[in-house]
């Protein structure tokens, strides 16, 4: 019957994880996806022998995927395999220093002492504090709806308050990091974690320091086959469980009556369901599907996260000094974030991220003796800039920077080139203004200002994914799915 029918709009990571969870709660689940492939931002493409993951490239918290298979009582190995990285990232600085961020804390501390003369105790203390903040504060944020009254009674709030340091609330992440480390290089390295949710470390709260716990205490990982294997695993599991997918055409409207969800309009026909979960950007959900311009305007008022310019380069040469994850830092980090969030002007010395999956699986992602480069810089969200002009600007800035640090002429090795701009990010993934993480976390109350995972006015309407609580990125989207399914289970537990 319709009371056990759930419709999910969008087959991103959050949408598919929600579909799996609701299926296991006994719902008949139908997923509608406007693209002709699942995954949302977590997609891939191939061109002339080069394979590229199109979107997110860092993999942490593998237990969040394992949890879905455990809930389904399905062995994960036939679907998904991964390995822990020895080095989370190679960091290249403008003065020629290169730091290897080992996932072993002792090795990382020794590397920092050798390269920056940073006392080892500073790293240990920082990561200890990050671990405590994550376990006592972060997990409340990740596992519970901050907007539901029940959270006050079910979440360990008292313990969290006991671990809440004043500095987490009153200091920016940069101020906190400057107090924690002597070396400006370390401050810049740990400031970078603000970019994991598209924020500015000079404005975002010090609480974001807990993000480093995931990479440096729990570890960074590589999914075999590349990031697309996460999408493939979730999609295959959902199919195995009986979730239905419809690709290639967008949902036209969410149907409501008397403040209750009735279903959606698809191909000019009403598809009935008592529960609708939108994995679409919450702004577009209100503006396009609910035709609620007032609520869309409220979402619009919140500052957008950063967007990105991504170049996919097939390189006809291998670079032994590079690893899976590589960061080439700007010489003036503060000026870079001022450009992204304040002036909106293009910045001529951007921090450059280079991801090369062929390093982990030689010959599988690029032809022999060649490499697949995913090259990204953070840029402002789309407000109508001339991205055609900016594409050339950023390409030249990236090449200039990499040539200087690598001591080479990398442009001569580029034999395949594709690009993803904020405009194409918005059109392909329905991310408002091309912002990668919905709203930014550049204020102390940002975590509480994110849209909740449910509608306060329309019964049966829920929201999942990077534009709502708890935020963007694969772990947070998977956590979002767990929060949504728990909310639905609690509300409808007495229904047959």
pLDDT at 148: 53
83 C-beta neighbours (distance < 10 Å), count:
12
Residues 208 and 255 in one domain: no
Task: Lowest mean pLDDT of 67-76, 97-106, 151-160, 234-243, name the range.
Answer: 151-160
Tens of pLDDT, residue by residue over 290-347, are 999 999 888 878 878 889 999 999 999 999 999 999 999 999 999 999 999 999 999 9
- Average pLDDT score over residue span 202-216: 92
Mean pLDDT of the residues in the chain: 91
CB proximity list for 354: less than 8 A, separation 6 or greater: 322, 326, 327, 328, 373, 374, 375, 376, 402
| φ/ψ of residue 418, rounded to 5 | -130, 165
What is the bridge-based pairing of β-strands 5-9 and 28-33?
parallel
**For residue 432, is it within any domain?**
no
Residues 153 and 242 in one domain: no
- The answer to whether 192 and 182 are in contact (CB under 8 A) is no
Residues 406 and 317 in one domain: yes
- The answer to whether 57 and 245 are in contact (CB under 8 A) is no
The closest of 456, 477, 459, 460 to 281, measured between CA atoms, is: 477
| φ/ψ of residue 86, rounded to 5 | -75, -35
Q: How would residue 128 be classed by pLDDT, with cut points 50, 70 and 90? A: very high
Beta bridge partner(s), residue 221: 59, 84
pLDDT at 167: 59
**For residue 101, is it within any domain?**
no
| Single residue among 167, 183, 217 that ends a domain in this structure | 217
Residues 236 and 340 in one domain: no
Only one residue has tokens 């034999």, namely 415
Residues 445 and 298 in one domain: yes
pLDDT at 11: 97
Question: Which CATH number characterizes residue 448's domain?
Answer: 3.50.50.60
Residues 176 and 260 in one domain: no
Residues 205 and 232 in one domain: no
**For residue 185, is it within any domain?**
yes
pLDDT at 433 over 80: yes
| 4's tokens | 């056990």
Beta bridge partner(s), residue 79: none
What domain range includes position 405?
Answer: 306-380+383-420
- Average pLDDT score over residue span 80-85: 98
- CA dist 249 → 10, 200, 245, 281 (Å): 11, 36, 11, 17
The sheet carrying 461-463 orders its strands as 244-247, 28-33, 5-9, 275-278, 461-463
The closest of 438, 443, 382, 377 to 200, measured between CA atoms, is: 443
Q: What is the 3-state secondary structure (H, E, C) of the chain?
A: CHHHEEEEECCEHHHHHHHHHHHHCCCEEEEEECCCCCECCCCEEEECCEEEECCCCCECCCHHHHHHHHHCCCCCCCCCCEEECCEEEEEECCCCCEEEEECCHHHHHHHHHHHHCCCHHHHHHHHHHHHHHHHHHHHHHHHCCCCCCHHHHHCCHHHHHHHCCHHHHHCEHHHHHHHHCCCHHHHHHHHHHHHHHCCCCCCCEHHHHHHHHHHHHHCCEEECCCCHHHHHHHHHHHHHHCCEEEECCCCCEEEEECCEEEEEEECCEEEECCEEEECCCHHHHHHHHCCCHHHHHHHHHCCECCEEEEEEEEECCCCCCCCCEEEECCCCHHHHHHHHHHHCCCCCCCCEEEECHHHCCCCCCCCCCCEEEEEEEEECCCCCCCHHHHHHHHHHHHHHHHHHHHCCCHHHHEEEEEEECHHHHHHHHCCHHHCCCCECCCCCCHHHHCECCECCCCECEEECCCCECCCCCHHHHHHHHHHHHHHHHHHHCCCC
Residues 362 and 396 in one domain: yes
pLDDT at 215: 95
Is pLDDT larger for residue 302 or for residue 71?
A: 71
Tens of pLDDT, residue by residue over 212-229, are 999 999 999 999 999 999
With pLDDT > 70 as the criterion, what percentage of the chain qualifies? 91
Q: How would residue 2 be classed by pLDDT, with cut points 50, 70 and 90? A: very low
- Average pLDDT score over residue span 379-385: 92
pLDDT at 145: 53
- Average pLDDT score over residue span 414-436: 89
Residues 311 and 405 in one domain: yes
**For residue 89, is it within any domain?**
no
**For residue 56, is it within any domain?**
no
From CA 167, how far away is CA 180, in angstroms rounded?
Answer: 11
From CA 279, how far away is CA 285, in angstroms rounded?
Answer: 9
pTM of the model: 0.92
**For residue 128, is it within any domain?**
yes
pLDDT at 491 over 50: yes
Q: How would residue 260 be classed by pLDDT, with cut points 50, 70 and 90? A: very high
Q: How would residue 169 be classed by pLDDT, with cut points 50, 70 and 90? A: low
| Single residue among 171, 196, 217 that ends a domain in this structure | 217
pLDDT at 161: 46
Q: How would residue 427 be classed by pLDDT, with cut points 50, 70 and 90? A: confident
b/e code 381-397 from CB counts within 10 Å (16+ = b)? bbeebebeebeebbbeb
From CA 265, how far away is CA 268, in angstroms rounded?
Answer: 6
**For residue 70, is it within any domain?**
no
**For residue 54, is it within any domain?**
no
| Single residue among 166, 195, 217 that ends a domain in this structure | 217
CA 174 to chain centre: 21
- Average pLDDT score over residue span 123-146: 78
From CA 449, how far away is CA 466, in angstroms rounded?
Answer: 14
CB proximity list for 444: less than 8 A, separation 6 or greater: 169, 170, 205
pLDDT at 158: 41
Number of domains comprising the chain = 3
Residues 290 and 310 in one domain: no
| φ/ψ of residue 323, rounded to 5 | -125, -165
Residues 319 and 293 in one domain: no
Residues 358 and 397 in one domain: yes
CA 100 to chain centre: 23
CB proximity list for 461: less than 8 A, separation 6 or greater: 254, 256, 261, 276, 278, 454, 455
């Amino acid at each position: 019957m319709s009371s056990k029918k759930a419709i999910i709009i969008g087959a991103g990571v959050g949408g598919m994880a929600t579909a799996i969870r609701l299926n296991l709660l006994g719902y008949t689940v139908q997923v509608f996806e406007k693209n002709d492939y699942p995954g949302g931002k977590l997609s891939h493409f191939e061109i002339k022998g080069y394979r590229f993951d199109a979107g997110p490239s860092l993999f942490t918290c593998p237990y969040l995927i394992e949890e879905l298979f455990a809930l389904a009582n399905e062995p994960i190995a036939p679907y998904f395999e991964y390995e822990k990285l020895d080095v989370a990232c190679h960091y290249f600085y403008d003065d020629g220093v290169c730091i290897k961020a080992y996932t072993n804390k002792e090795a990382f501390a020794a590397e920092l002492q050798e390269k920056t003369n940073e006392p080892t105790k500073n790293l240990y203390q920082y990561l200890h504090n990050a671990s405590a903040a994550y376990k006592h504060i972060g997990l409340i944020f990740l596992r519970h709806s901050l907007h539901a009254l029940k959270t006050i009674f079910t979440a360990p709030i008292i313990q969290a308050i006991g671990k809440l340091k004043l500095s987490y609330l009153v200091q920016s992440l940069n101020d906190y990091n400057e107090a924690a480390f002597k070396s400006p290089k370390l401050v810049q390295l740990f400031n970078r974690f603000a970019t994991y949710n598209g924020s500015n470390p000079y404005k975002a709260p010090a609480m974001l320091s807990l993000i480093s716990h995931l990479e440096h205490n729990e570890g960074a990982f590589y999914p075999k086959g590349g990031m697309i294997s996460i999408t493939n695993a979730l999609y295959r599991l959902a199919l195995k469980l009986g979730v239905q997918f419809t690709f290639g055409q967008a949902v036209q409207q969410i149907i409501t009556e008397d403040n209750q969800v009735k279903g959606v309009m698809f191909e000019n026909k009403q598809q009935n369901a008592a529960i609708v979960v939108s994995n679409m950007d919450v702004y577009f959900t209100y503006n396009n599907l609910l035709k609620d311009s007032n609520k869309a305007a409220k979402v619009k008022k919140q500052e957008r996260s950063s967007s990105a310019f991504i170049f996919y380069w097939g390189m006809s040469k291998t670079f032994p000094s590079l690893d899976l994850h590589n960061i080439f830092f700007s010489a003036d980090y503060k000026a870079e974030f001022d450009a992204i969030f304040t002036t909106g002007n293009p910045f001529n010395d951007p921090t450059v991220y280079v991801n090369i999956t062929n390093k982990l699986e030689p010959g599988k992602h690029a032809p022999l003796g060649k490499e697949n480069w995913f090259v990204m810089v953070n840029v402002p969200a789309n407000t109508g800039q001339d991205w055609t002009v900016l594409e050339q600007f950023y390409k030249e800035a990236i090449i200039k920077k990499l040539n200087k640090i690598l001591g080479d002429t990398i442009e001569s090795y580029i034999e395949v080139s594709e690009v993803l701009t904020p405009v194409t990010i918005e059109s392909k993934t329905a991310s408002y203004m091309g912002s990668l993480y919905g709203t930014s976390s550049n204020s102390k109350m940002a975590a509480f200002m994110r849209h909740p995972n449910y509608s306060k006015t329309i019964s049966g309407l829920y929201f999942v994914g990077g534009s709502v609580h708890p935020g963007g990125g694969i772990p947070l989207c998977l956590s979002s799915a767990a929060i949504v399914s728990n909310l639905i289970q609690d509300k409808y537990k007495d229904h047959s």
